[in-house]
């Protein structure tokens, strides 16, 4: 599937692909993309069933990785967060010739119990035809989601004018077991890989490191202090600086 892309930076600069996570879009990475565009040709994508990209009944990681392969015009650094991190790992394991250096933000190649089905249900729980402002939608979401930052993140995908979510909520709900899972996949990625976590997040634990190293032999680990799962939104400058240091390291 052809993905919607946002591209910035010099045409002759090293390529960097940014792959957002579940419910995310290219615009969520706009600040970091802009800053990294000083020395990289940065492409940020909307994943299938997200943003302005097409919808499909298949939301498997094989399909997501295939979309990324079709987006790349040649070898590229690849940065993926959460669901996008898993898709990026599958791409690196199955098409290593397309990935120069890999950055995986706050996710591991393991199955999780962290279902996000409750967020899908919250977004589907009210009648969009009765909503005229984003603040009205926020008030309704607040009945089911306490965290203001999570609501603000989800509301970036709400098109108030057209009364719709820019998310294929039905498919994402149905495919949630695949999204939080990890496919049966073999192979190894022999190039440098950075696993970057939020220090306050529990998505990448010491117990997941053996599995990471089994698939990514040159894995390195770093964490961002005072950041949770959405580390790029909470600490954009620190995340950008860490990414930059890894990509320019000899």
Instruction: Answer yes or no: 81 catalytic.
Output: no
Of the residues 50, 81, 229, 232, which is catalytic? 229
DSSP 217: T
Distance CA(98)–CA(110), nearest Å, equals 23
Instruction: Answer yes or no: 170 catalytic.
Output: yes
Say if CB 224 and CB 235 are below 8 A apart: yes
- CA nearest to 82, candidates 101, 108, 45, 102: 108
**Mapping DSSP to helix (H, G, I), strand (E, B) and coil, where does residue 66 land?**
helix
What are the residues whose beta carbons fall under 8 Å from the beta carbon of 250, sequence distance 6 or more?
none
Of the residues 82, 88, 197, 201, which is catalytic? 82
Place of tokens 């320019």: 248
Say if CB 78 and CB 105 are below 8 A apart: no
Instruction: Answer yes or no: 229 catalytic.
Output: yes
Of the residues 170, 188, 217, 226, which is catalytic? 170
Q: Which residues are catalytic?
A: 82, 170, 229
């Amino acid at each position: 599937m052809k993905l919607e892309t946002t591209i910035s930076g010099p045409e002759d600069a090293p390529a960097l692909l940014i792959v957002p996570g579940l419910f995310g879009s290219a615009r969520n990475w706009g600040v970091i993309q802009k800053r990294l565009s000083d020395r990289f040709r940065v492409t940020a994508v909307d994943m299938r069933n997200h943003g302005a990209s097409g919808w499909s009944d298949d939301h498997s990681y094989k399909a997501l990785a295939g979309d990324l392969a079709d987006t790349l015009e040649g070898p590229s650094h690849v940065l993926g967060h959460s669901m996008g991190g898993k898709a990026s790992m599958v791409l690196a394991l199955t098409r290593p010739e397309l990935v120069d250096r890999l950055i995986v933000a706050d996710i591991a190649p393991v199955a999780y119990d962290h279902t996000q089905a409750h967020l899908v249900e919250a977004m589907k729980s009210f009648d969009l035809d009765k909503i005229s402002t984003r603040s009205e939608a926020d008030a309704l979401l607040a009945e089911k989601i306490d965290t203001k930052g999570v609501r603000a993140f989800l509301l970036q995908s709400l098109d108030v004018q057209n009364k719709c979510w820019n998310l294929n909520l039905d498919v994402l709900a149905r495919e949630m077991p695949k999204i939080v899972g990890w496919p049966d996949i073999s192979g190894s990625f022999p190039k440098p890989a950075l696993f970057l976590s939020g220090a306050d997040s529990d998505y990448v634990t010491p117990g997941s490191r053996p599995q990471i190293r089994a698939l990514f032999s040159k894995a390195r680990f770093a964490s961002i202090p005072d950041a949770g799962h959405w580390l790029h939104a909470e600490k954009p400058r620190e995340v950008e600086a860490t990414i930059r240091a890894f990509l320019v390291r000899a």
